[in-house]
Chain A
């Protein structure tokens, strides 16, 4: 099973200057898939997830176009081959 992450511009330096990172492994939920991403690009983790394990409030994660905030959060189920976008919310700047 594999999953394709799209990394936002500000975090690409922490992902080996990659805009896309493909990870291989088994993931039942977006939380599992993120764990695979942290192995591949560990510097991205603390920018996306707080130390209490929550997605930062102004960061959005979309699985196949759907925000995980509108589904089951980090427990959102994902399919093999899912495309996952990590994006900053419109706030900030």
Chain B
């Protein structure tokens, strides 16, 4: 096994949690976000599609969902920035017997902001799990699993996965999830009942372009300051919502392609978001061999290419759905990783970019936290 390095963040530092196809990495910087130290690799050989940082109740807990091709997927956590990890004897996320299926992969881990102990996990096959004890034990959210439309959900290229969980910042009982390929479902009663919520979102790959469900939503983001405002990157289609996702308006003007995966929203400004357009579903690489992040500052009316510091020649890159994020600092930092193992950071909202590292395994998840 490869030797691990460890970082020792201090209060006020910034850490980037990077999940790759071959393990997890932790990068540390001071608040300047200029120079990054590497920690890892953790879980070498395992795909890590989900990571999270839980700072509630004074915790400094990193969560990861490594999936070993041999030994399956479990949730593991570290309270010392990767030096040691839990290794539960019993797999902590398991489908109940009545589900007659087995966990394949953990795609998303989200600590609740409405209390200090609730957590959610989105998994493949598409399902939502909830923990009420800060990740010690997990249970299937039956209301979604028992939805009558579930048998008609279809796997996308990455499998039938529940990849995005949005906990409404002002309504703890309202949760929106995105599933490829089923679209978005929303609950307003804390998970007891769910309804599809895809009004206005196209499904170009179906005979009915606007079905009630079945869309291939790649990523959805929600403003923490103005929860009505959301953006959505679809499998073809770039959208904005001004009503908490109840309806969607196409805002794909001025982008080289409305196909893509990654998306991030500004921590304060609900009009500001970032995307990385890809050529097409047939060629999932950056158009013209240019790695361009596009930013809107007016709710999607206009998108501007942010290229300073990013390769603009022979850069046929792919940025996957969970591989882009923002921090909560001023100005906001933006971070993304590529399938070719590059990790980029901007400490000025995308005006200029620097390469944190070039040479990771394929990056599938990027999260950031202020320690």
Given the complex, which residues of A lie within 8 Å of B172, measured CB to CB?
none
CB contacts (< 8 Å) of B96 on chain A: these are 51
Interface size class of chain B, counting residues whose CB lies under 8 Å from the partner chain:
20 to 34
Q: Are A42 and B45 in contact (CB under 8 A)?
A: no
Task: Pick from A18-26, A27-35, A54-62 the stretch touching chain B.
Answer: A54-62
Contacts of B174 on A, CB cut-off 8 Å? none
By the criterion CB–CB under 8 Å, are A43 and B102 in contact? Answer: no
Give the top 9 A-B pairs by smallest Cβ distance, nearest first. Answer: A43-B89, A92-B69, A50-B102, A46-B91, A47-B71, A88-B70, A51-B94, A93-B45, A58-B70
Residues of B at under 8 Å CB distance from A?
Answer: 22, 45, 68-72, 74, 87, 89-91, 94-97, 100-103
Besides A46-B90, A48-B71, A50-B72, 14 other CB < 8 A contacts? A10-B68, A42-B89, A42-B90, A46-B74, A47-B91, A52-B95, A54-B102, A56-B71, A58-B70, A59-B70, A88-B71, A89-B70, A91-B69, A92-B70
Find the A residue at minimum CB distance from B88: A43
Contacts of A47 in B (CB 8 A): 68, 70-72, 91
* Contact partners of B103 in chain A: CB under 8 A: 50-51
What separation, in Å, do the CA atoms of A50 and B103 have in the docked complex?
8
Chain A residues with Cβ under 8 A from B90's Cβ? Answer: 42-43, 45-46
- A92→B102 contact, CB < 8 A: no
Question: Of all chain B residues, which has the CB nearest A43?
Answer: B89
Known: A46-B94, A51-B102, A93-B45. A14 touches B70 (CB 8 A): no
Are A11 and B102 in contact, with the CB atoms below 8 A?
no
Residues of A within 8 A of B89 (CB): 14, 42-43, 46
